[in-house]
Amino acid sequence: MTTRTSRRRPLAVLTALTLTVGAALVAPGAVAATAPAPDDLPTVTVVATGGTIAGRAAGRDTFTDYRAGTYPMTDMVSVLEPEVSAIADVDVVQFGNSGSGGYTIAQYHALTQAVEEALETSDGVVVTTGTDTMEEFAYWLDLTVQSKKPVVISGAMRPWAAGETASEAGVIGADGPANLLQSIRLAAGQQTFCFGTVLMLNDEIHAARDVTKGNSTRNDTFVTRQLGALGWIDGDQVYVQRAPARVLDCATDEWFTPFDLDEVAATELPRVEIFYNYQEAGREAIDAFAAAGVEGIVTAGTGAGGISSGPGQARRAAVESGIWFVSTTRTGSGAVSGGGDGIIAGGDLIPQKARLLLLLSRTFTDDIEQAREWFATIGGSSFDQSAMAGVVSPVPGGEVPSPTPEPSAEPTAGPTTPPPGGEPGGEEPGTEEPGGEEPGTEVPGGVPGGEETDPASEPDAGEEAPGGAVGGPGSGSGSGGLPALGAETRGIVLAAALALLVGAAAVHQRRTRSLGVPGMPRGLGR
């Protein structure tokens, strides 16, 4: 296990990607992938935080009776030798050795900085942690790490061993060694460059934004409902079949989120809580959160975000005191739309992830409209390839449309795009119905999950409320061949087409770089 000093840089990777794409357009099939030379292996840093993967079991056949966060990562990596050294040069940062649920938001802040520091010299980072809150670890890193290099988070559902050291009395069927090896393989291979943070467990690759823990004990616990995994690993082969929408911004600084933690101290991160709704829920929880000085509350509502009458009344009072709310659903999938005074629609973010985005939004801006936009874009980014319709030929062998439109006789207005996710305005319904607030069909300007409206406008009790999830990549337009031009002309057209493709993709992925209250430096507006 060694540490190298020479590293690949994002610019070099991007340049290589551009050259490969360009060569493929001119002469399809002419580019062959080459494996790295043995003396030029990528460097991967493992940032260890503990969890079940580092757990010591009571016996070799014991899967659920163990002490998490016991073995140091250096000992665990040494168990993987010599196989791991054929994949990458690995170094280790022992950030902590605890169960995942024991970490604080201030420690999350420090973890982001540890990952970013490692990425300054490494080609990729693997973060190991417990699975209980791994989905929150992953999404936090996805929102805050300011590097396009691969970040892979992994762990285990079964403890590593039952001996005094990680190399003694390995647990029968332990998944930790394989998960660690395959995570290093994934980070080293660069296939998820510009994906943000991904989660790899049980040979499946999931997007940090979408993945959730779906079972308390099974090895295949992590799932991405509705959308499915990004890809998988079979042996030493990595297959990536889809990508997060942010990859469209890979070539530009639009890829980065505004949540640069170098600009804020851990003490500036506010307290944000979650309220879970249920039949005839009381208002006391929201009242207590407000009295405790929280700055944001996520409501995990029923159906499309509904909350009961008591919590609804408490929410209105809390909004008047300056607390921001995000409306989500407890169903585990599906979107919540709408919004209102002091209330942001959480889209299809699950409550615990909406909490992290709300916490960061409250840290970096005092403008709720800015936060609303971040939820619609960063929190709900999706693919939009409509710009390709005017750039790429839709048929085989067709000509590439001219990058410069012919001037018209009269000036025409350019295409306009509505703000991502829209911005529902208006107040909550003014008349409160006895019997509590129930989810109903969204009324323009209404609050999701607000008070009952006209029963005729509501869906049946068992009917799933409408709401789309973030879409995956579409089928895409086919890239037409270049016309029969001379070599010099073909090169010019190719360069222009590549520039348009990258530029259009960056513009049309629904993301934003607005950074808070106008005139206020980023990181100072809380």
Domain identity same for 270 and 362 = yes
Helix intervals (H) in 176-308:
176-189, 284-291
126 assigned to some structural domain: yes
The domain that holds 306 is classified in CATH as 3.40.50.40
Domain identity same for 297 and 170 = no
Q: How far apart are CA 439 and CA 232, in angstroms?
A: 38
SS (H, E, C) 140-160: HHHHHCCCCCCEEEECCCCCC
Domain identity same for 276 and 196 = no
Q: 476 — alpha (psi -120 to 50), left (phi > 0) or beta?
A: left
Domain identity same for 238 and 268 = no
Predicted confidence at residue 177, as pLDDT, reads: 98
Domain identity same for 216 and 276 = no
| Structural domains counted in the chain | 2
Q: How far apart are CA 71 and CA 391, in angstroms?
A: 55
CA distances from 91 to 4, 41, 51, 136, 221 (A): 9, 13, 19, 25, 28
Residues 6+ apart with CB under 8 A from 48: 54, 72, 73, 92, 93, 94, 95, 96, 97, 127, 128
Domain identity same for 131 and 14 = yes
The domain that holds 37 is classified in CATH as 3.40.50.1170
Domain identity same for 95 and 133 = yes
220 assigned to some structural domain: yes
Predicted confidence at residue 510, as pLDDT, reads: 40
The angle subtended at Cα 206 by Cα 263 and Cα 510, nearest 5°, is 55
324 assigned to some structural domain: yes
Predicted confidence at residue 387, as pLDDT, reads: 87
Domain identity same for 48 and 196 = yes
Beta strand segments in 24-140, E? 43-50, 56-57, 66-67, 89-98, 124-128
Predicted confidence at residue 381, as pLDDT, reads: 85
Domain identity same for 238 and 280 = no
Q: How far apart are CA 190 and CA 125, in angstroms?
A: 11
Domain identity same for 191 and 278 = no
Domain identity same for 147 and 225 = yes
Q: HSE on the CB side for 479, CA within 13 Å?
A: 11
1 assigned to some structural domain: no
Active site residues: 52
DSSP 45: E
Instruction: Based on DSSP, count helices (H) and strands (E) in the chain, helices before strands.
Output: 10, 17
pLDDT mean values, one per 10 residues, the chain (526 residues): 34 38 35 52 98 97 96 98 97 97 97 98 98 98 98 98 97 97 98 98 98 94 95 97 96 97 98 98 98 98 96 98 98 93 97 98 98 96 88 87 56 42 38 39 38 36 37 36 42 45 43 36 36
* Secondary-structure breakdown of the chain: helix, strand, coil percentages, each rounded to the nearest 5: 30, 15, 55
Domain identity same for 375 and 439 = yes
Its pTM stands at 0.72
Q: Do 141 and 188 form a contact (C-beta atoms < 8 A)?
A: no
Domain containing 487 equals: 264-394+420-476+483-526
